[in-house]
Chains A and B, each alone.
Chain A
């Protein structure tokens, strides 16, 4: 299985701050990398697919970049509704695997 290493595991930020999360794959996955937002009691939501493609309806303050083994996820200006845990996930090989998550608070 491809192992996904995500950092940091948690971060504290203020509203308006720029937030960046990194994700490293144990082997090359081209651009087959997705980012998901998980809030307690709510349906998780896919934010970015294919490393940098913003899903329909997702605000433009979210962005992703990278390829191969190294990826980043950025919130350009943190909003109150962005408080959540974010997970990277590779879709290049089965089984799909997730990073350990980054709690944004």
Chain B
């Protein structure tokens, strides 16, 4: 049974970099696609991007230039880096297995952008 758990700081200052990690159990990050998705307060869900089983990444054009998704196969984790954050990046960030059909998902972690 695949399980995912997000971790990272709960607060990030404006203009700084947000870094989150997703720890995976029950499957290898090298054998599937893995995605990041977020939900801003009171808003809908937004797909951020994915990393493939070969290590290539694809991102939502709305975040292009600010986002990087990478993986560490030795730790069986994948990560999200989002630069130059603003209050608009305040959201619950989820990791999930899959490229365009996410599931299962992690529980999510709330990240607030605030000084």
B61 and A95 contact, CB distance less than 8 A? yes
Select one of A43, A45, A49, A96 contacting B108, CB under 8 A: A43
* Contact of B78 with A by CB under 8 A: no
Chain A interface: which of B13-21, B41-49, B83-91?
B41-49
B107 and A49 contact, CB distance less than 8 A? no
Q: Helix, strand, loop or mixed for chain A's interface? A: loop
- The tally of residues in B whose CB lies under 8 Å from a CB in A reads 20
Rounded to whole angstroms, the CA-CA distance of A34 and B98 in the bound complex is 12
B107 and A98 contact, CB distance less than 8 A? no
Select one of B100, B106, B108 contacting A94, CB under 8 A: B100
Rounded to whole angstroms, the CA-CA distance of A92 and B46 in the bound complex is 15
* Contact of A20 with B by CB under 8 A: no
* Contact of B28 with A by CB under 8 A: no
Please give, as numbers and ranges, the residues of chain A lying within 8 Å of B61 by CB-CB distance. 95
Our count of residue pairs bridging A and B at CB distance below 8 angstroms stands at 60
A87 and B44 contact, CB distance less than 8 A? yes
Query: Nearest residue in A to B95 (C-beta to C-beta)?
Result: A43
* Contact of B101 with A by CB under 8 A: yes
Please give, as numbers and ranges, the residues of chain B lying within 8 Å of A45 by CB-CB distance. 103-105
Contacts A94-B58, A95-B60 given; indicate if A46 touches B46 (C-beta within 8 A).
no
Minimum Cβ distance to chain B for residue A12 (Å)? 20
A95 and B103 contact, CB distance less than 8 A? no
Please give, as numbers and ranges, the residues of chain A lying within 8 Å of B105 by CB-CB distance. 36, 43-46
* Contact of B102 with A by CB under 8 A: yes
A-B contact pairs, 25 of them (CB 8 A): A36-B45, A36-B103, A36-B105, A41-B107, A43-B94, A43-B104, A43-B105, A43-B106, A43-B107, A44-B102, A45-B103, A45-B104, A45-B105, A46-B101, A46-B103, A46-B104, A46-B105, A49-B103, A94-B100, A95-B60, A96-B101, A96-B102, A98-B45, A100-B44, A101-B44
Give B contacts to A, CB under 8 Å.
4, 44-47, 58, 60-62, 94, 96, 100-108
